[in-house]
Structure 1
Amino acid sequence: MHIVMAGQGQFFWERHGFVVAYLFLFMVGMLRGQGTYWLARVVTEQTLRRTRPTEGWKAGVHRWLSGDGVARGRSSIQRWGLVTIPLAYLTVGFQTLVLAAAGMLRIAWPVFTLVQIPGALAWAAIYSTIGFALWGATIAALAGEPLALAALVATVVVVGTTLAVRRRRRNGAAAAAAKRGAPLP
């Protein structure tokens, strides 16, 4: 992934050094974590407790915050404790769910911020070293290699199909259970 300034042909960190790139990414990790935490905390307070929207973006946020993904993040924090927060920075996708769950659980802001720091430091280290190198290599391979592009498309199709089949099965099982009057699985 190239972050190129106008007229420059270098990566951001090649011009400014690793330390600047690392600190920049650390701040991005911290700000993203704080933003997710506060958004979930405020929206949870306002949306889940005071409203029951049925359509529009508010209904979408309400469904997401009361959905299975955030519930898994919340149960993970409850089961494993605050160590879940920094460890979530080492995952893709689950990180947002855990950070939102921390906001939903109303973990005290100073405590959340302190336990977030090691995760943001690790995330910055990964992306300022291996992460961007891996993205750059992937993009370069895709730019000149038709087989790499085919492999990427195939991976996206397999993952998308798997998720669609799982969702359809889950929705079918829930509809069948509702018809029988049985509790949801």
Structure 2
Amino acid sequence: MITSWPVWLAFGVLFLGAFARGNATYWVGRGLRRGGERTKASDRFDSAGFVRAERVVRRFGAPAVSVGFLTVGFQTAINLTAGMMRMPQSRFLPAVTVGALFWATLYTTVGMAVIEAALGRVPWWWMLAGLAAVIATILIGKRLMNRPVDAAELAETEEADGGSDLERV
């Protein structure tokens, strides 16, 4: 059972699993978008509303991707949407890395403490570590959500993704 693994190994496996799943979901979204662009309904991707939505995802989507790893049920939808809205890799990869770190930290500490509690073997330091992890995750998430995005950084990410669809607005 994973509770008998060294903490660093459990953390590493959980991190890699979350990172791989987040990226796989993102690329499924990119594939769905590409497939959608080849259908009769592809003109919907050119609508002003859709282009504005893409702009919002490119600008504010990275914190949503990171914080999404702390939710149940929304993580997949957020990563899929990031792919479908063509969030640039330069913004998605750091966000998914932070999110996978959040997820691995949460499950290595609080998740393992819950398993241990269910089995009736909870050392006091697991509870303390879990509480510290929850507090750290909240503080980091708050910091990410309040991070200002300057115009130069936004222009750089738009250029890296071609920028052509943003010029249509």
TM-score, normalised by the number of residues in structure 2: 0.55
Are residues 1:28 and 2:17 paired?
yes
Contact 2:57/2:85 (<8 A) preserved? no
- Unpaired runs of 5+ residues, structure 1, are 1-10, 54-72, 141-185
Q: 1:91 Cα deviation (Å)?
A: 0.4
2:38: which partner in 1?
Answer: 50
1:133 has 2:133 as partner: no
1:83 deviates by 1.1
Give the deviation of 1:137 after TM superposition.
4.5
Specify whether residues 135 and 79 from structure 1 end up closer, same or farther in structure 2 by C-alpha distance, changes over 3 A only.
farther
Is the Cα contact below 8 Å between 1:76 and 1:84 reproduced in 2? Answer: no
Q: CA deviation at 1:135?
A: 4.8
Q: Which residue of 1 aligns with 2:163?
A: none
Q: Where does structure 2 lack aligned partners over 5 or more consecutive residues?
A: 42-52, 121-169
1:90 matched to 2:70? The reply is yes
Distance in 2 between residues matched to 1:74 and 1:131, nearest whole Å? 35
The number of residue pairs the alignment matches comes to 109
Higher relative contact order (CA 8 A, sep 6+): 2
**Distance apart, 1:74 and its partner CA:** 7.4
CA distance in 1, matches of 2:7, 2:88: 33
Other structure's SS at 1:22 match: helix
AA partner of residue 38 (structure 2): R
- State the TM-score, normalizing by the size of structure 1: 0.51
Aligned-residue RMSD, C-alpha: 2.9
Distance 1:20 1:34 in 2: 21
How many Å separate the matches in 2 of 1:50 and 1:39? 16
